Homo-oligomer: A and B are copies of this chain.
Amino acid sequence: MGILERKIRQKENMRTNILAVALQLVKEEGWQSLSIRKIADAIEYSVPVIYDHFENKEAILFELSMDGFRLLDRLLEKDKRKYDDPEERLRAHAETYWNFAFKNPEYYQLMYGLGMPCSSPGKAKPEFNSFREHIAEAIEGIVKDNKSSEDETCFKIYAFWSVLHGLISIVMMRCSDIDDSQMNKKVMDDSVNAFIKNL
């Protein structure tokens, strides 16, 4: 229906349009039911034009996940500018990560492969470790007075990330029987507190 009308409304960057539409569809119906044909329908072009801009469906998901990493990274950078004290900054990072996950569950699931195509096990994502690097900086700042070995510090970084990611996963997949999101956040806060106290 839209093919003729479309020619009047001009194109503008088709690539970003495809991504925007794909994200929209994912938000509406979940990434599981995202299909090339639906995207084509939504941008009012035929199917093959999508393959002029993306190698395949996985490339679209990949690009979307990169957008997610970039968005998260921007938020973490803001924390960094706001807080000088490493402990405060670490707390802020945790909060930011948590909020990001629940305000953008589609992104989070795509980024960390929580219930989707096996697109995520991507080694070639540099942004992948952005969060780890941010908390690493903060943790090293807290810990630098102690005489922690390099390994110990590295371990702590993963441990911290794990608590957050694990809790988010469990809550997101409704494994938790705690319905109250306030409560869930409190579990997170408690864990962060215990972690910091133990540094």
Which residues from B are CB-within-8-Å of A151?
183
Question: For the complex, would chain A's binding face be called helix, strand, loop or mixed by DSSP majority?
Answer: helix
Please name all residues of chain B whose beta carbon is closer than 8 Å to the beta carbon of A114 when the two chains form the complex: 113-115
Judge whether A164 is part of the interface by a CB distance below 8 angstroms.
yes
Check A173–B120 contact: CB distance below 8 A. Answer: yes
Count residues of chain A with CB under 8 A from any CB of chain B.
48
* Interface hits, A156-199 → B, CB 8 Å: 156, 158-159, 161-167, 169-170, 173-178, 183, 186-187, 190-191, 194-195, 197-198
Instruction: Give the residues in chain B near A152, CB-CB below 8 Å.
Output: 190
Encode A112-128 as 1/0 by CB contact (under 8 A) with B.
11111110111100001
Least distance between A20 CB and chain B CB atoms (Å): 23
- The A63-92 residues at the B interface (CB cut-off 8 A) are none
Q: Does any Cβ of B come within 8 Å of A13's Cβ? A: no
Complex Cα gap A196–B162 (Å):
16
